[in-house]
Structure 1
Amino acid sequence: MFPMRTAVAAVSALALAGLLAAPADAAPRQTRAEDQVNTFFSQYRDAVLGPNPSTEPGRVRHEFLTTELNNELDAWADSHQADPVFRSQNVPNAWSVRYEGSGAGHSTVVLTEQWAAGDSTDVWYQVRLADLVIDGLQDPPA
């Protein structure tokens, strides 16, 4: 009986210390900035793909992005002849987000777009922490 109590106590101590793996179905907790970028990208992608006029891409951008960033993205689209959010003429099949860090009142979130051919593209987002408005979107730093 004593060895069983010792084993239970050891497992409990490891669990409390966070050294045991989380259950396979437990999703990692995202930051608020990651949630915001994920929500924006999902709604924007749906607006590009969908026929619903009340969810047009410009309206989604206006809801989530600063006016300055929208103007920058319009200029980017004009000079690259591609969608400024997707950074491509195509729509990605899937995507994921990851937290990259915070500082000076902002969080950086990297959104990785996955394409039909199997390749991927990273796009770096900057999110203001005070109001979760996206005020930066760019290609990865060189």
Structure 2
Amino acid sequence: MEVDMTTGIRRTAVVAVTAGLLLAGGLAAPALAAEASPPGSHQAARQIGVVEKVTAFYDQYLDAINGTNPNMDPTEVRNEFLTPELNARLDDWAEENMADPVFRAQNTPESRDVRYEGSGAGHATVIVTEHFGDGSTIDVWYRVPLDGGRISDLKDAPQ
């Protein structure tokens, strides 16, 4: 075991504990994943990638709506992450429903959970569960290409 004399920390133990925590939390450290690539690891990386993409979009969009990042405009965020076709459909949805087309509501959620639902035909489904101040929740389903392209669909949960 290697000991750093300036801090007295055992590096091997720190790396092992960190790796264990990451893996227990469902995340794989890139360096560790590169060393040992078990079957299906590319699929796991894609799952993490699509969840990260939806999470990044959602959080940046929320910041833009709330004005907490003055360098971001909601339209710019949508243009960066969403296909032009989806953007057009969302504009139509907003006009019809008089609500925010991403949040699917007239107000902003207080928090959210993001989870991978499954994949097929080159796309993954990621579900964002939005939590509102009155205790209500809304599930919004995202369709994301596995090849890293822009989010291609966003809709209410199937009935």
The reply to whether residue 42 of structure 1 matches residue 59 of structure 2 is: yes
Is the alpha carbon distance of 1:24 and 1:34 closer, same or farther for their aligned partners in structure 2, counting shifts above 3 Å?
A: closer
Shift of 1:26: 4.5
What runs of 5+ residues in structure 1 fail to find an aligned partner? 1-21
- Runs (4+) of structure 1 exceeding 4 A deviation are 22-26
Is the alpha carbon distance of 1:24 and 1:35 closer, same or farther for their aligned partners in structure 2, counting shifts above 3 Å?
A: closer
Q: Provide the residue aligned with 1:128 in structure 2.
A: 145
The reply to whether residue 75 of structure 1 matches residue 92 of structure 2 is: yes
Is the alpha carbon distance of 1:54 and 1:119 closer, same or farther for their aligned partners in structure 2, counting shifts above 3 Å?
A: same
Higher relative CO (Cα under 8 Å, sequence separation at least 6) belongs to 1
TM-score, normalisation: structure 2: 0.71
Alpha carbon RMSD of aligned pairs, Å? Answer: 1.9
User: Which structure 2 residues correspond to residues 1-142 of structure 1 after superposition, within 5 A?
Assistant: 26-29=24-27, 31-50=48-67, 52-142=69-159
Shift of 1:54: 2.9
**AA matched with 1:75:** D
| Identity among equivalent pairs (%) | 49
Give the number of the structure whose alpha-carbon radius of gyration is greater. Answer: 1
Shift of 1:133: 1.3
SS in 2 for 1:133: coil
TM-score, normalisation: structure 1: 0.79
What runs of 5+ residues in structure 2 fail to find an aligned partner? 1-19, 28-46
**AA matched with 2:59:** S
Deviates more, 1:113-122 or 1:28-37: 28-37
Shift of 1:31: 1.4
Residues 26-53 of structure 1, C-alpha deviation per residue, up to 9 Å, x if partnerless?
5223611111000000000000001655
Aligned residues: 121
Q: Quick check: 1:33–1:132 contact (8 Å CA) kept in 2?
A: no
Is the alpha carbon distance of 1:25 and 1:33 closer, same or farther for their aligned partners in structure 2, counting shifts above 3 Å?
A: closer
**AA matched with 1:27:** G
Question: Equivalents in 1 of 2:69, 2:22: separation in Å?
Answer: 37
Shift of 1:130: 1.1
